[in-house]
Structure 1
Amino acid sequence: MSTIVEVQATDPLMPAVYALRHDVFVVEQGVPEELEVDDDDKVATHLVVVSDGRVIGTLRILCHGRTAKIGRMAVSASSRKDGIGRQLMEFAATTASRRGAEEIILGAQLTAREFYKRLGYTEEGAVFDDAGIPHVMMRKTLQR
């Protein structure tokens, strides 16, 4: 059984969040370590999936007016294909809507774009490079 909690940068769970993101982005995907943690982490709302006392999933939400931007979504390798990503994204949409957002934007890795399409996101614009990984911007209008 897993639980999703909403935390800020000073929460005691954050070292485990950063460790998971490091494993996924730096170790697995080769993102330069200095790009993985940034100043947005200090002001973002972080959603964290905890299972049996372990952090197995996370993402962050940054609100800009009526738009919420989701980023740094990571799920532990052992928990992928268990629906954790979908649960995180649905929880994020509810959280963003509750905070007054009317839409969500995100930069999706090309390998994950079908996942986001199944959740109702649409592609916008050209493919771009982010930390050496091809991405595309995606957007979803939130239901009121």
Structure 2
Amino acid sequence: MVNDRTLLTIKLAELPDDFGAIVAIRKTVFQIEQGVETALEFDGKDDEAIHWLAYLGARPVGTARVRFLDQSVAKLERLAVLPKARGQGIGTQIMQTAIAFLSQKNISEIRIHAQEPVKEFYEQLGFVSEGDRFYEANIPHFKMSKRLESISGRK
């Protein structure tokens, strides 16, 4: 879906060097576009997370982070793609990259809090809704999870 003339690259972010790009994307999407408060968006958990950055050419356009809740469960959070870069499959490719990475780490379950307007996006990636709608940062969300088969064959 990405324009062939513009190369999409997704890489593991290197902190603290790449954190400025991550902040810029998340500020644009979550704070400016959605009105999320700074203290909620930047919750002090970024240092314990693994982050991905998506680039169109040399321009950072998307990000996501993963935190490990225990040895077999990870929480994927803060998936964001800049408005001008949406509709090109970048969010899907970030998610597929993160899912593949977690499969190699023998993670058996990924959890997310999906905003209601993008719940179907996560369902298309194999996530299943758990429970009722709830509000986080005044935005309706659903708890969702995806079971992974690790490279060792464990489910």
| RMSD of aligned residue pairs (Cα, Å) | 1.0
Among all aligned residue pairs of Structure 1 and Structure 2, give the percentage whose two residues are the same amino acid: 37
Q: After the TM superposition, which segments of 4 or more aligned residues of structure 1 sit over 6 Å from their partners?
A: none
Q: In the alignment, what sits opposite 2:81?
A: 75
More strand by share: 1
The alignment covers a number of residue pairs equal to 143
Paired letter, 1:17: I
Query: Is contact 2:22–2:53 with CA below 8 Å preserved after alignment?
Result: yes
Deviation at 1:9, TM superposition (A): 3.3
Q: In the alignment, what sits opposite 2:57?
A: 52
Paired letter, 1:32: E
Q: Which consecutive unaligned segments of at least 5 residues does structure 1 have?
A: none
Paired letter, 2:147: T
From the CA coordinates, give the structure whose radius of gyration is larger.
Answer: 2
- Distance between the aligned counterparts of 1:71 and 1:86, measured in 2? 14
TM norm structure 2 = 0.89
Query: What SS does the aligned partner of 1:24 have?
Result: helix
Q: In the alignment, what sits opposite 2:110?
A: 104
Q: In the alignment, what sits opposite 2:37?
A: 32
Query: Is contact 1:9–1:41 with CA below 8 Å preserved after alignment?
Result: no
- Distance between the aligned counterparts of 1:136 and 1:40, measured in 2? 21
TM norm structure 1 = 0.95
Deviation at 1:143, TM superposition (A): 2.3
Deviation at 1:8, TM superposition (A): 4.3
- Distance between the aligned counterparts of 1:58 and 1:4, measured in 2? 9
Q: Which consecutive unaligned segments of at least 5 residues does structure 2 have?
A: 1-6, 151-155
Q: In the alignment, what sits opposite 1:114?
A: 120
Query: What SS does the aligned partner of 2:63 have?
Result: strand
Deviation at 1:96, TM superposition (A): 1.0
